[in-house]
Structure 1
Amino acid sequence: MTKSVLCAIDLSNGDHDVPVLQQAARMADLDGAQLDVVTVLPDFGETWVSGFFEAGFHDKAVKEAHDRLVEMCESALGKERNSSVRHVVATGTAYQEILKAAEAAGSDLIVIGAHKPDIKDYLLGPNASRVIRHSNVSVYVVR
């Protein structure tokens, strides 16, 4: 029985990940599991990158990403369902942060999209592939 489902969303994909989110919600609902939704921002604070951004840029980017994530979840799942979703914005390398979020939440299942929308074949994207390879829990890939 699944107790916690983590859904990884890439906000830069626009609405492409809505079916991933909806599938994750269906899977969580089957077992009455907690649904957590995570998106990952690049680390703007890295030494070689941080000099290009104004002070406070990272905090502003995290807040905007959180607001967009909540908005996307509400639009895709409805206001009532979204009220029980935990929205997580992480910073760093996508696959590593997804795995960290899954471990922190005690997730039994990770739901992730297969690839970027511009890839027209059946290959997994690099982040989905790495999550699958390094995860200690089951990973469900939505194509």
Structure 2
Amino acid sequence: MSKSVLCALELSDKTVDAKVLREAARLADLDQAQLDVVNVLPDFGESWVSGFFEDHHHDRAVKETAEHLSKMCEEALGAERNAKVRHVVATGKAYQEILKVADKAGTDLIVIGAHKPELSDYLLGPNAARVIRHSTCSVYVVR
């Protein structure tokens, strides 16, 4: 039985993200588990790239992403279900932050999308593959 399900979304393809989110909600509802939804923003703070952004850029990006995440959840799951979802916006390398959020939340199951396969990815995106490889809990991949 799962007590906590973490759904990792890229917010790049609304149709794919909605499918992954609905599956994560279905799995959480089976066990009456908490549903957390996470999106990870890239971290430009440690590289020369950060010099091109104003100081408030990151805060604005987090705020806008959180709003987008909540809106997507409401559209895919409905307002009542969305009110019970914990929305998380993290910053860093996607797979590392997904695993950190899962660990901190006591996640029993991570739900992640496979995304469109490319030859170099060999049917799984690089972040999904890393989450699967390094996770200490079960990972459910939505195709």
- In the superposition, the TM-score normalised over structure 2's length comes to 0.94
CA drift of 1:18 comes to 0.7
CA drift of 1:119 comes to 4.1
Match of 2:95 in 1: 95
- CA contact 2:117–2:123 (8 Å) conserved in 1: no
* Aligned 1:53-68 pairs, distance under 5 A: 53-68=53-68
Counterparts of 1:9 and 1:68, CA distance in 2: 11
Unaligned stretches of 5+ in structure 1?
none
User: Is the partner of 1:97 in helix, strand or coil?
Assistant: helix
- In the superposition, the TM-score normalised over structure 1's length comes to 0.94
Percent identity of equivalent pairs: 71
Match of 2:135 in 1: 135
Counterparts of 2:76 and 2:6, CA distance in 1: 16
After superposition, the CA RMSD in angstroms is: 1.5
- CA contact 1:45–1:58 (8 Å) conserved in 2: no
- CA contact 2:43–2:91 (8 Å) conserved in 1: yes
Unaligned stretches of 5+ in structure 2?
none
Counterparts of 1:93 and 1:65, CA distance in 2: 16
* Aligned 1:2-41 pairs, distance under 5 A: 2-41=2-41
Deviations 1:37-94 (A, max 9, x none): 0000001322412101012000000000000000000000000000000000000000
* Distance change (3 Å), C-alpha of 1:78 and 1:122: farther
User: Is the partner of 1:12 in helix, strand or coil?
Assistant: coil
- CA contact 2:7–2:35 (8 Å) conserved in 1: yes
Q: Which amino acid aligns with 2:9?
A: I
